[in-house]
Amino acid sequence: MATKRKKKQSLGLDKKLRRVIDPVIAKALSHPLRGHILATLGDKVASPNEIAGEIEIDARDLNYHFKVLVEVGMIRLVRRERRRGVWEHFYELEQPVLYLDDLAWKRIPKEIRTSVSASLLQTVVDEAAEALRAGTFDARDSHQSRTAMTLDEQGCDKLTKLMDETLQKVLEIREACAKDLERTGREGIPIEVFMVGFETAAGVRQEMSSAVAADA
């Protein structure tokens, strides 16, 4: 009887718990391989075998993560092809792009946000390095800039809003071009656009220097 009473109390507690984040998003972002799958499917339709080959791991290590993403409704099966006597399954994103607004992002636990940010920055470095080696980084006109500044809270909010608006325009261009390429049958030009704004560690370094000076 004690076990049943404990179980009922636990169920009652579960009903009162507040969700800090949509559990679907939390589950999708809780493993780096799932993040990689979502990022890859944002660019193209692909199978577990293809993605596994690109990152040089066993496809069986990806199958579970594909299953999870299908179950939470973030990707979907679009076709099957017979290859080497077995069926290969190809997937795409359920939505054209995985987008988290500011509120959803802030509700993600800091540990997951840090992991996602680290993965994104590593992707920036890897993609840029590969483009430099291939000679495509400066093959056509492009924009590159770095701007350091000191802002107040209001300025930070304005900058974030501007970057959000720019992202929306980037997505509009992407969607319009995808339709044109499909209509005309022309081959597209693979382009990566990264935007990131963050508080630097300058303030932390100054505090540490001040603390060391005080101890001395």
pTM: 0.54
- Are the C-beta atoms of residues 25 and 94 closer than 8 Å to each other? no
- Beta strand 86-93 with 75-83 is antiparallel
Last residue of a domain, one of 69, 99, 117: 117
Last residue of a domain, one of 95, 117, 139: 117
Which amino acid is present at 68? V
Query: CA 90, 194, 176: angle at the middle one, nearest 5?
Result: 60
User: Are residues 171 and 105 part of one domain?
Assistant: no
Residue 13 domain-assigned?
no
As a residue count, the chain comes to 216
Same domain, 104 and 31: yes
Q: 56 and 105: one domain?
A: yes
Look up the CATH number of the domain holding residue 97.
1.10.10.10
Q: Is residue 51 part of a domain?
A: yes
Per-residue pLDDT tens, the chain, 216 aa: give them: 444 444 434 444 444 444 444 566 666 667 878 878 887 887 788 999 999 998 888 888 889 999 988 988 889 999 998 887 888 999 998 875 555 666 666 666 677 777 777 777 777 888 888 889 999 988 888 888 889 999 999 999 899 889 888 988 988 898 898 889 889 989 888 888 888 888 888 766 666 666 555 665
Residue 111 is part of which domain span?
Answer: 19-117
